[in-house]
Amino acid sequence: MFLLSLFTSPLDFPDSPLSRAFNQPLILGLFLPIQSGGWSASALPRGTDWTFDYNKQLTLRAEALGFDLVFALAEWLGKGGYGGDIRYHDESLDAFITQAALASVTERILLISTLHVLYGPWHPLHLAKFGATLDHISNGRWGLNLVTGHRHREHRRFGHAPIEHDQRYQQADEFIRVVQQLWASDENVDFNGDYYRLQEAYSSVKPRYGRPVLVNATGSTAGIDFAARHSDIVFTTSPGSAEIEDALSKLPEHLLRIKQAALSHGRQVRTLINPLVICRDSDAEAWEVHAAITAAGDPGTLEGHAREASDAHAWRGHKADHRYVGGNIQLVGSPETVVRDIVRLKQAGIDGIQLSFFDFAPDLEQFAERVLPLLYQAGLRH
């Protein structure tokens, strides 16, 4: 066995892309809509599109605006996605391949892929080689959001029985430790663990800054402990609902728990949360848009969510209308109101926001014109 402390982090390099992002008072990311319907299970018309060209343009615009990262999810759904009249998430790109393609057309922004490492034939040697190659192509800008798979039907789609929640994190712990040893070692690696076996394994491409960025999306005790030991960034959710006041009342204790867990392993982590932003000239106009999205919500998609049985600890406080609009929390109002609530999230302990929108391209432009300058004025960006 080997010690985690032997592995180098991108934060050990002051000039790494991750170090530059962490120097910002508030990390700013964009949650790409690489799946049909984006993040809103609503039939209200909009231009949001799942295609690569659309997401490429969003990424290039986010990079030009100074965003620190773009993030993409991974899902393995059956035909029709979550269903409903809109066939929510019926079409979706693969996050790993999408970010690989974006690496060749971007220069500065971090590219985070979600990957289910316990599904199918994935082996630590695969990821060590593939990840180091992407790190090489992107000059250290690629990152891995390692997930274990909380939906039982997804495991079965790969021909496997679902794995018990905490056992998934035990297996993922061994997986990422092996990967990190392959990234760090200048010699062949032999390993004989509970889940993985390697003989004379070697990854000949080495990451530029020790290893790629590691991210984990979690809310459970086992997941938080895993993230505390391995991750640079924890993509967290509100322990409450999507309503900002409810989220703010519960987040400080939750975030303190995450950061104390990291400190117990001699590490520090940053936390990200995913707000869906509906911003208009006035609070009243923004809430009118929120009401219109909700009124066009597709109830069939909620039935689809229920069919995808899950043991995830996040999202449990969300109601139907929260899912119709989307986002882990919802920031609704004028530019001044949106910035006020972002400041409050920062005060609650959030280190960064990973934005999503209902109509991505125009809403991102409106955010850039009206909200971003106020973030600079508030001292949250420099």
Closest CA to 273 of 28, 97, 18, 59: 28
- Please compute the mean of the pLDDT values over residues 245-267 and round it to a whole number: 95
Listed residue (82, 78, 231, 29) closest to 147, CA to CA: 231
- 69-104 residue pLDDT tens: 999 999 999 999 999 999 999 999 999 999 999 999
Query: In this predicted model, what pLDDT tens digit does every residue of 96-130 receive, in sequence order?
Result: 999 999 999 999 999 999 999 999 889 999 999 99
Q: What is the pLDDT of residue 197?
A: 96
Q: How high is the pLDDT of residue 2?
A: 42
Please count the residues of the chain. Answer: 382
pLDDT of residue 278: 98
Nearest CA to 110 out of 137, 72, 143 is that of 143
Extract the runs of DSSP E, i.e. beta strands, from 243-363.
270-273, 275-279, 329-333, 352-355
pLDDT at 4: 46
Query: Which CATH fold would you assign to the domain 4-377?
Result: TIM Barrel (3.20.20)
Name the least confident of 23-37, 127-141, 312-326.
312-326
Q: What's residue 311's pLDDT?
A: 63
Mind listing the pLDDT tens digit for each residue in 281-308? 999 999 999 999 999 999 999 988 888 7
- Residue 313 — pLDDT band, cuts 50, 70, 90? low
pLDDT recorded at residue 1? 39
Asked if the model's pLDDT at residue 3 lies above 80, the reply is no
- Exposed/middle/buried for 65, CB within 10 Å: 0-12, 13-18, 19+? middle
pLDDT of residue 219: 84
- Cα 364 to Cα 16: distance, rounded to the nearest angstrom: 27
